[in-house]
Amino acid sequence: MEIKVAEYKDYERIAHLHAQSWKTYYQGILGADYLENEVIDDRLVIWQTRLINPPFNQHVLIAEDDGQLCGFICAFGNHDYEKGTIIDALHVDSRYRGQGVGAALFIEMAKWIEQYFADTGVYLEVMAKNNQAIDFYEHLGGEHSLERLWDAPCGNQVPELVYTWPSASALLKILSDSSISTAEID
């Protein structure tokens, strides 16, 4: 598996994986009509926009195996004055789940955050009903710090949880802890 920085040419593959992930794991969370008819177009616009002229604080990594997109992660450095850098998206193709792809992407992103935004915390937002992701983030030592409503692109207000880490170095310490294997946490 190879992890590299996403380029503009990757936007369609990222958008399709993002849409497929939402269709698979967000049934009953996001609107059925949105997932069936709008999610792919919505994600194509999002990822084309993000990758055509990325802001200085955006970093998108992809994981590939033999040219096949296995997963991706996106962060925005120092996104929030209080919470710091946001991990905006992490999605792994269902065929690669449980193989350490998510953990490997998390490690590489934490290294980037530590290099460029070391003085900030790290946080992410996860839908309250996304139990598999919540288990993953809690296993990584994320602290559930807030619950709020997200105005989802389908028009629904969806309960979400905010998980935080005090810094990228704290996150890297947890990730490199010998008691946590990448296969165990993905």
Q: How many whole angstroms from its chain centre is CA 102?
A: 9
How many domains does one find in the chain?
1
CATH number at residue 82: 3.40.630.30
Measured at the alpha carbon of residue 138, what is the angle toward residues 137 and 140, in degrees to the nearest 5? 65
Q: What is the mean pLDDT of the chain?
A: 92
How many residues are given for the chain?
A: 186
Which structure tokens are listed for 20? Answer: 């497929």
Q: What are phi and psi of 112, to 5 degrees?
A: -65, -45
CB 175 within 8 A of CB 90: no
pLDDT in tens, 10-69: 999 999 999 999 999 999 999 999 999 999 999 999 999 999 989 999 999 999 999 999
pLDDT score of 186 more than 50: no
Range of the domain at 99: 2-185
When pLDDT is averaged across residues 143-148 and rounded to a whole number, the result is: 94
180 phi-psi bin (left φ>0, alpha ψ -120 to 50, beta other): beta
